[in-house]
Structure 1
Amino acid sequence: MPYETFDDFARVGSPRLLGAARLLLGDPQLAEDLTQETLIRVYRSWPSIRVDAAIDSYAYRTLVRLVHRRRMRGFHRREVPTSLVPDQVVGEVDSDHRAPLVRACLLELPARQRATLVLRFYADLSVEDTAKAMRCTPGTVKSQTAKGLRNLKALMTSDDAGEFAQQGETR
């Protein structure tokens, strides 16, 4: 999609970036923080991004890198105890009754498989654009997609699937 200005990109791209961040992290507040940081970095690099198609790829690559760095620093927590039940997020991720199960099972996947599935199927990036965003080869994207789908299916059809869905709602 061609973007005339950064504001156009932010208006169209930030909801999708936020959705991808939520799927990658499972923590809505941290997802918002990293989406903001991604938008800041895209804004700073805006003049040097020459091709419209590269903007989305750059943004998702930045988001995936920030998620990875956050995990490496140990700031990512899988579960946050709380006495209040958070408001349910409503959006395109929640449009299906299986959404809590899918989100919970996604969080159980290894980070690279999860990132590949989110970029390919949620962000709707091509194999080539996903490879650019993840800085890997298209073959790696294909293999990680296949492994991720196989593992996601196994998790969703396991006997623990209901437990994953309940845990996913509190993450």
Structure 2
Amino acid sequence: MDGGTPVAEAERAVPSQAAARRPDGVDELCRALHPRLLGSLRLYLGDAETARELTQDALVRVIERWPSVQTMDHPEAWAYRVAFNLARSRLRRATAERRARARTTPVPPGRPDVDVAASIAVRRAVALLPPRQRQAVVLRYYGDLSLAEVAAVMGCRPGTVKAHLHQALTGLRLAGLADETDVADGEPTRPAPDPRPEPAPRRPEDAP
């Protein structure tokens, strides 16, 4: 197997005995998952290097737990859930480290543009969404997961996912980054309110 493939890279992180007895099916799943999982984590984290690291960690867990994973109804959703749990833990740790450094060292402004999957404006807008809305948008529209799969990853009901998507798309539309006709899984967004004040009710004496 080519040493540069995603599966080969994940193999190097698991014991050789486990890799030798790996059953059919896991290679195909890992190859299919890798580009979408990597892109989703890059968009969610805003850090390409960390996204690559956590993608490999998630694939390692798929390989190690394949006997259980292959019997799941949504194995891809399980892999996404593992990856996003790792991502949230990494973000929490990074936040704690930044706060600790901020006590003695000024935080440098800005950060490099590491995401090539989305425009700068959209990436920044998505990054500013509340965490649950951001996760729902990334999984649904970048990860291309179904509503049921997104709900499984996020540990909530599909209706809750729809609500997060609706709120996120509304925010992006108001920022000029989503069309008014955008829908969240078939649920049309409400039209933006007319900024003009409503006319005062006509009094009887004003009638022609």
The TM-score with structure 1 as length reference comes to 0.73
SS of 1:73's partner is helix
Render the CA deviation track for 1:28-73: whole Å, top value 9, x for unaligned: 1111111111111111221112347511111111111111111222
Q: Given the superposition, is the C-alpha separation of residues 50 and 39 from structure 1 closer, same or farther in structure 2, using an over 3 Å criterion? A: closer
**Correspondent of 2:155 among 135, 142, 148:** 135
Counterpart amino acid of residue 89 in structure 2: R
Aligned with residue 18 of structure 1, among 26, 35, 38: 38
Using the TM superposition, give the Cα deviation of residue 126 of structure 1 relative to its aligned residue in structure 2, in angstroms. 1.3
| Cross-structure match for 1:165 | none
Percent identity of paired positions between Structure 1 and Structure 2:
38
**Mapped pair 1:73 → 2:93:** yes
Confirm or deny that 1:55 pairs with 2:58.
no
Could you tell me how far apart the structure 1 residues matched to 2:81 and 2:166 are?
20
Which amino acid counterpart does residue 47 of structure 1 have in structure 2?
P
Q: Could you state the TM-score of these two structures normalised by the residue count of structure 2?
A: 0.61
The separation in 2 between residues aligned to 1:106 and 1:24, in whole angstroms, is 8
What residue identity is the alignment partner of 1:5? Answer: G
Aligned pair partner of 1:45 in 65, 69, 75? 65
Bigger-Rg structure (1/2): 2
For the Cα contact (< 8 Å) 2:43–2:115, is it kept in 1?
no
RMSD value over aligned CA atoms?
2.8
The answer for unaligned runs of 5 or more in structure 1 is 158-171
Determine helix, strand or coil for the equivalent of 1:136: coil
Aligned length: 146
Q: 1:47-126 to 2 correspondence within 5 Å? A: 47-51=67-71, 53-74=73-94, 93-94=117-118, 99-126=119-146
TM-superposed deviation, 1:152:
2.2
**Which AA in structure 2 matches 1:142?**
K
Runs of 4+ with >4 A deviation = 79-82
Distance 2:72 2:154 in 1: 18
Secondary structure of 2:149's partner?
A: helix
Q: Which runs of 5+ in 2 are unaligned?
A: 1-23, 99-106, 178-208
SS of the residue 2:167 aligns to: helix
